[in-house]
Structure 1
Amino acid sequence: MKGCRVQASSSRSLLRYASARPGCPKLLCFPYAGGVAAGYRNWAVALSPHVDVVAVEYPGRGFRRREQLSRRIVDLVQAIIPEIVAEMTGPIILFGHSMGALVAFEVLRVLSPRQPVVAAVMSGCRPPVLRGFEPEIHALPDDEFIEELRKLDGTPEELLADRDLMELAMPVLRADFEAVATYDPPKALKLSCPVLVYGGESDNSVGVEELEGWREHAAVSCAITAFPGNHFFVRSAEQDVLSTLRRDIRSLTAV
Structure 2
Amino acid sequence: MTTSPWIKRFHPAPQAPTRLVFFPHAGGSATSFFAASRALAPEVDVLALQYPGRQDRLAERPVEDMGTLVDRVTEELMPWTDRPLTLFGHSMGSSVAYEVALRLEEKGMPPLGLFASGRAAPRVPVTRRLHLADDDELIRHLGELSGTDSQLLADESLLRMVLPALRGDYRVLETHRPEPDRSLSCPVVALCGDADPVVDPADVALWERHTSVSFRMRVLTGGHFFLDAHLPVVVREVHDHIAAATAR
Cα distance in 2, alignment partners of residues 81 and 110 from structure 1:
7
Q: Cα gap change, 1:69/1:124 in structure 2, threshold over 3 Å: closer, same or farther? A: same
Task: Report what 2:66 is aligned to.
Answer: 73
Q: TM-score, normalised by structure 2?
A: 0.93
Cα distance in 2, alignment partners of residues 175 and 136 from structure 1:
12
1:50 to 39, 43, 48: 43
**For each residue in 1:106-132, what CA deviation from the matched residue of structure 2 results, as whole angstroms up to 9, or x when unmatched?**
1011111321311111111010112x2
**Structure 1 counterpart SS, 2:112:** strand
Cα distance in 2, alignment partners of residues 65 and 145 from structure 1:
19
Task: Report what 1:30 is aligned to.
Answer: 23
Contact kept, 8 Å, 2:112 with 2:242, in 1: the verdict is no
Task: Report what 1:123 is aligned to.
Answer: 117
Higher RCO (Cα < 8 Å, 6 or more apart): 2
Q: TM-score, normalised by structure 1?
A: 0.90
Cα distance in 2, alignment partners of residues 133 and 49 from structure 1:
38
Task: Report what 2:202 is aligned to.
Answer: 209
1:220 to 206, 213, 219: 213
**Structure 1 counterpart SS, 2:93:** helix
Task: Report what 2:144 is aligned to.
Answer: 151
Cα distance in 2, alignment partners of residues 116 and 56 from structure 1:
19
**For each residue in 1:164-218, what CA deviation from the matched residue of structure 2 results, as whole angstroms up to 9, or x when unmatched?**
1211121111111111111110000011101111111111211112111111111
* Structure 1, 224-233 or 157-166: larger mean CA deviation: 157-166
The alpha-carbon deviation at position 140 of structure 1 amounts to 1.6
Following TM superposition, where does structure 1 have runs of at least 4 consecutive aligned residues deviating by more than 4 angstroms?
none
Cα distance in 2, alignment partners of residues 121 and 133 from structure 1:
20
**For each residue in 1:204-242, what CA deviation from the matched residue of structure 2 results, as whole angstroms up to 9, or x when unmatched?**
211112111111111011100111111101112222222
Q: Percent identity?
A: 34
Cα distance in 1, alignment partners of residues 48 and 186 from structure 2:
20
* Number of residue pairs matched by the alignment: 247
Cα distance in 2, alignment partners of residues 116 and 89 from structure 1:
12
Cα distance in 2, alignment partners of residues 29 and 84 from structure 1:
12
Task: Report what 2:4 is aligned to.
Answer: 11
Q: How large is the Cα RMSD of the aligned pairs?
A: 1.8
Task: Report what 1:167 is aligned to.
Answer: 160
1:181 to 174, 182, 189: 174
The alpha-carbon deviation at position 18 of structure 1 amounts to 4.5
Cα distance in 1, alignment partners of residues 37 and 100 from structure 2:
21
Cα distance in 2, alignment partners of residues 191 and 206 from structure 1:
22
Q: Which amino acid aligns with 2:186?
A: C
Q: Which amino acid aligns with 1:139?
A: L
The alpha-carbon deviation at position 93 of structure 1 amounts to 0.3
**Structure 2 counterpart SS, 1:202:** coil
**Structure 2 counterpart SS, 1:129:** coil
Cα distance in 2, alignment partners of residues 111 and 136 from structure 1:
29
**For each residue in 1:33-82, what CA deviation from the matched residue of structure 2 results, as whole angstroms up to 9, or x when unmatched?**
11111222212211111111011111111332222111112111111212
**For each residue in 1:117-165, what CA deviation from the matched residue of structure 2 results, as whole angstroms up to 9, or x when unmatched?**
11111111010112x2421112222222211111111212332232212
Q: Cα gap change, 1:44/1:154 in structure 2, threshold over 3 Å: closer, same or farther? A: same
